[in-house]
Chain A
Amino acid sequence: MIKCEGWFKSYPVGQRMYPVLKGLEFEIDTGEFVALMGRSGSGKTTVLNILGLLDHLSAGTYWLAGQAMMGHSSRALAAFRNTFIGFVFQHFFLLPRLNILDNVCLPLQYYAGDRDQAYAHCLQLMKRLGIAEFAQQMPAQLSGGQQQRVAICRALACKPKVLLADEPTGALDAQNSEEIMSLFKELNEEDGLTVFMITHDSELAQQSQRVLHLVEGQIELNTQELSG
């Protein structure tokens, strides 16, 4: 599903370029649940942003579902983000002036496929994730755990192939974190959704099928390689 070859990424700091990724390479198969760990500033979020087509590589090759992701127009990248990728953020990022239903359905505004079908899918998802009863409520009326469920529901609205989660439990208590992780596992195991998650919590990371450790801009430890 995902193949990263020789990823380099640098950011300008003053007059100089600060390298974040230094020849990063890894692959994620379809239906895998992979966790990425690393120290603050190690480049985890940069990896997720590039995987999510929000940021560009300085050098390297990125393959998503068999297609090279370089050289596409911003319009094409937006279409990929809409249909291939679902984002879950640490701070949920729900629009405060829209109710829960409208927040969930927000990606459908940019969906090129059958919107009615996608809308029906959203309603089903809301029931499945236990947030259907909050459909007409505003985000501020919901707890953190509930808001993150809404965010997950929104991420899945256009039936993506990959779910990218940036510390999805970072703003939640232990119980809610556990529930969100259970939900990820359920989506991965039952729906075959490929999940790529950034986390600081090694216990949560252990619940994934594979853990990647990012050190100095490279994958230093791959639990799959160790167990294999």
Chain B
Amino acid sequence: MKLGLCAQVGANLWSTKMRSLLALLGVLIGTAAVVALISSGELATRTAIEQLRRMGTDLISVSVYGLRGDHSAQSGSVSSQEVLGFSNILGVKWVAPSAQWPVSVMASGRSVDASVLGVTPAWAHVARFELEAGRFLTGMDAQRLHCVVGAEVSENMRQAGVFPVLGAWVQVGNQHCQIVGVGRRWPSNFFIMANLNRSLMLPLTMVQSLSNASVEIHDVAFKVMAGYATQVVQNQLESRLKQWKPKAQIYFKNPEALIEQVTQQRQTLTILLGVIGGISLLVGGVGIMNIMLVALAERKHEIGLRMALGATQRDIRQLFLAEAVVLTVAGGVLGILIGSLGVVVIAWISAWYYTFLVIPVVIGFIVSCLVGVFFGFYPAYRASLLEPIVALRSGY
């Protein structure tokens, strides 16, 4: 016996299965969009933050360039003396200047696709550059033609017939350098300007000497000592640089500031994606209202009959509202399941760090319920306002 409201609602919705399913589908897609978009935005942000943390939160990089038209000596680059001066700043553990030297690289008579980079021994620590074989450059190599190659350069050389790579000689410009170290594949780092996998690293002093000091230092990376705030150290560096080079353009990057920025943008992103998902849900809600208005038009006679049998306006309103809410809640629950599953797939494809996020699910559920009440109320209200005799005459 279907005396209860729930049983009545179930029977009514079941009797129009296809229509109910289509109405439910709109809310399902909307809720799935809300859950998937908010979760994806959050996971993408978390992944970005985690990647920044992995690069090292104790890292600062600075690029120095001269103003356009300013040709005064050294105004747009950092001198070796100034690099030494950075070491005196409190909190700076390592200073790693680097300079690109645009010369060709040859091995066994064949051209090798590699960028020549002048670096100091501290570079390996700051850039977290690890070796597969051999050693990195030391202070002893400062005036020697020794170099270290990245993973891709090493692979290219192997393919060119140079084997073993370690100990082999390569021609850099007009000079021949011996490879003393082969790097492991290096994960790209937003704070290091060069791609170390495709680099051939020479001692910076040697590069400057070979190029007759035409190679300038524009990029310097710093590692901050444990216990010192990155931003505080950066402020000191900035003040020192502005003092030395008042006319230079100075660009700082530090992971903590970036993480802070990404964290601040997270809220905006979440709201934006939530609104996009919400619009889909709104469309689903309009679908529910449409379906309920059609149901109202078709069931006027039933409403009249129920009123004749003793149903009050409230009973009729409850019946229609309950049907709308059941449709949206069912759509909402299915949408949450599909949306959550979608997030797992997106996270897997995008190689994001996956965590099940409760808040988007709760938001999706609450919003779908509210959509049901909001869009279900008007048809329910209209149904309840029907005059019994007018409703009873409908359809006959």
Contacts and interface: CB of A to CB of B under 8 A. Distances in A.
A110 B311 contact: yes
B278 interface: no
Contacts of B8: 109
A52 interface: yes
B3 A115 contact: yes
Given A49-B389, A54-B388, A78-B312, A101 B306 contact: no
Interface in B188-240: none
B349 interface: no
Nearest to A107: B309
B178 interface: no
Contacts of B12: 97
B305 A95 contact: yes
Interface residues of B, number: 27
A106 B314 contact: no
Interface in A91-147: 91, 93, 95, 97-98, 101-102, 105-111, 115, 119
B256 to A, nearest CB: 64
A168 B15 CA distance: 28
A148 interface: no
B392 interface: yes
A149 interface: no
B309 A87 contact: yes
B305 A75 contact: no
Interface in B271-294: none
A95 B2 CA distance: 13
B11 A98 contact: yes
B310 A82 contact: yes
A54 B309 contact: no
A158 interface: yes
A93 B305 CA distance: 7
A227 interface: no
A183 interface: no
A107 B310 contact: yes
B312 A54 contact: no
A54 B3 contact: no
Contacts of A158: 310
Contacts of B396: 91
A81 B307 contact: yes
A153 to B, nearest CB: 12
Contact of A95 (B3, B302, B308, B312): B302
A115 B389 CA distance: 27
B308 A101 contact: no
Contacts of A101: 1
B315 interface: yes
Contacts of B15: 97
A82 B310 CA distance: 4
A110 B315 contact: yes
Interface string B253-265: 0000000000000
Given A54-B388, A95-B302, A97-B12, A154 B1 contact: no
Interface in B1-30: 1-3, 5, 8, 11-12, 14-15
Contacts of B311: 78, 109-110
B306 A106 contact: yes
Nearest to B385: A74
A79 interface: yes
A108 B306 CA distance: 11
Given A93-B301, A97-B11, A82 B309 contact: yes
Interface string A66-84: 0000000011001101110
Contacts of A105: 1-3
B313 interface: yes
Contact of A87 (B1, B11, B308, B315): B308
A81 B309 contact: yes
Nearest to A95: B302
B182 to A, nearest CB: 77
A82 B315 CA distance: 13
A106 B2 CA distance: 8
Contacts of A220: none
Contact of A54 (B301, B314, B389): B389
Nearest to A86: B309
A201 interface: no
21 contacts: A54-B389, A54-B392, A75-B314, A78-B310, A78-B311, A78-B315, A79-B310, A81-B310, A82-B310, A83-B310, A87-B308, A93-B301, A97-B11, A97-B14, A98-B11, A102-B11, A109-B8, A110-B306, A115-B3, A119-B3, A154-B309
Top 4 closest pairs, chain A to chain B, by CB = A82-B310, A110-B310, A97-B15, A107-B309
Given A78-B312, A95-B302, A102-B11, 6 more contacts: A78-B311, A81-B310, A83-B310, A87-B309, A105-B2, A106-B306
